[in-house]
């Protein structure tokens, strides 16, 4: 009897512990976060997506997929109902895309935001807001597959043309030209060997020349150097020449003043006397030409003028 009672209490204890562990597991695993429903409108494939798949906002878990179904009002369109944490920054510019989890083929919903409209997007179980579903990376690759294939075919054709016999012959000729140029460079290097051997001596001579040039420049820059002494002598000579020109200019001004104020008036007076003598000679010549006898008998008396005794008015010529 005692063994049966111990077994009973042990079994009861085990059952109670199992129930307690189940209640604790349920209590700790229950999701108490408040989630808001949103509908994603997908017009592309949703391969790998399943209910209860993760919903991430820029890599952070913010919810899960509740359901996936066709939109009966719009054939070919899929409605994806997601439950998102109320604290997630869902705005009018938020959109969803399909992401893949590694190489497993399982997909999840990736939410992102363009930032064009930062107003919060209101949603509720009675009035569920909708967000666009943009094509994922796989869909973009599929849509651009034809373009990629055409580019790949073009690349293959270019490679075939590059490997054609004519192109190979041209490449071989180019390689031969490069080899010939390399041989020429090697020959030139060998010929430049003696010149390169003389280069250290040339550099030493150049260093000595530079030292001599520095010494000469230092000597010229000294205050008592030959260049400064010569320049000082030239400056002194130029100063003396300037003083001589200044004295010559003063002398010329003195001579010009004397000519203007002393010599020119005397020359003008002499010219006036000469003009008077010439007029007298002219009058004498006129008198001699009109009355030559005046040389012997003297000049005849001048005819009386108006108002003088003996004046007679000239007779008026009769009109024809």
Q: Which of 87-101, 118-132, 206-220 has the lowest mean pLDDT?
A: 206-220
pLDDT band, very low/low/confident/very high, at 20 (cuts 50, 70, 90): confident
Say yes or no: 38 and 134 in one domain: yes
**Host domain of residue 50:** 31-138
Say yes or no: 62 and 156 in one domain: no
End of a domain among 107, 138, 169? 138
Say yes or no: 103 and 121 in one domain: yes
Say yes or no: 116 and 53 in one domain: yes
Q: Answer whether residue 42 is part of any domain.
A: yes
Say yes or no: 71 and 114 in one domain: yes
Say yes or no: 58 and 107 in one domain: yes
- Sequence-distant (6+) residues with CB within 8 A of 76 are 43
Say yes or no: 125 and 156 in one domain: no
Q: Answer whether residue 264 is part of any domain.
A: no
At 122-170, the pLDDT tens digits run 888 889 898 998 887 766 666 666 777 788 888 887 777 777 777 777 8
pLDDT band, very low/low/confident/very high, at 319 (cuts 50, 70, 90): very low
Q: Answer whether residue 272 is part of any domain.
A: no
Q: Answer whether residue 37 is part of any domain.
A: yes
Say yes or no: 61 and 130 in one domain: yes
For the residues 16-29, what does the mean pLDDT come to?
74
Our count of domains for the chain comes to 2
End of a domain among 171, 188, 205? 188
Say yes or no: 91 and 110 in one domain: yes
Say yes or no: 127 and 155 in one domain: no
∠ CA 57-61-65 to the nearest 5 degrees?
Answer: 90
Say yes or no: 98 and 73 in one domain: yes
Say yes or no: 109 and 159 in one domain: no
At 122-135, the pLDDT tens digits run 888 889 898 998 88
């Amino acid at each position: 009897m005692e063994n049966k009672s111990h077994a009973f209490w042990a079994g009861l204890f085990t059952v109670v512990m199992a129930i307690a562990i189940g209640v604790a597991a349920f209590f700790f695993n229950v999701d108490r976060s408040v989630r808001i429903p949103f509908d994603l409108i997908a017009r592309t494939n949703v391969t790998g997506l399943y209910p209860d798949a993760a919903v991430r906002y820029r890599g952070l878990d913010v919810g899960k997929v509740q359901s996936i179904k066709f939109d009966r009002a719009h054939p070919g369109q899929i409605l994806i109902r997601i439950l998102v944490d109320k604290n997630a920054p869902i705005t009018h510019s938020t959109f969803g895309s399909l992401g893949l989890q590694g190489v497993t083929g399982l997909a999840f919903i990736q939410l992102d935001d363009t930032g064009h409209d930062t107003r919060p997007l209101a949603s509720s179980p009675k009035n569920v807001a909708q967000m666009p579903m943009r094509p994922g990376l796989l869909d973009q690759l599929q849509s651009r597959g034809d373009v990629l294939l055409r580019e790949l075919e073009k690349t293959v054709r270019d490679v075939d043309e590059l490997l054609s016999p004519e192109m190979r012959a041209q490449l071989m000729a180019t390689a031969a030209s490069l080899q010939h140029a390399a041989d020429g460079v090697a020959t030139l290097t060998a010929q430049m060997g003696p010149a390169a051997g003389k280069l250290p001596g040339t550099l030493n001579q150049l260093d000595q020349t530079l030292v001599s040039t520095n010494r000469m420049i230092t000597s010229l820059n000294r205050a008592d150097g030959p260049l400064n002494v010569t320049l000082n002598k030239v400056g002194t000579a130029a100063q003396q020449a300037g003083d001589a020109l200044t004295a010559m200019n003063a002398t010329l001004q003195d001579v010009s003043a004397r000519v203007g104020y002393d010599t020119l008036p005397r020359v003008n007076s002499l010219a006036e006397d000469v003009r008077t003598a010439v007029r007298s000679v002219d009058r004498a010549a006129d008198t001699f030409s009109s009355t030559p006898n005046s040389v012997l008998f003297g000049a005849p008396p001048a005819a009386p003028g108006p108002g003088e005794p003996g004046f007679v008015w000239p007779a008026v010529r009769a009109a024809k």
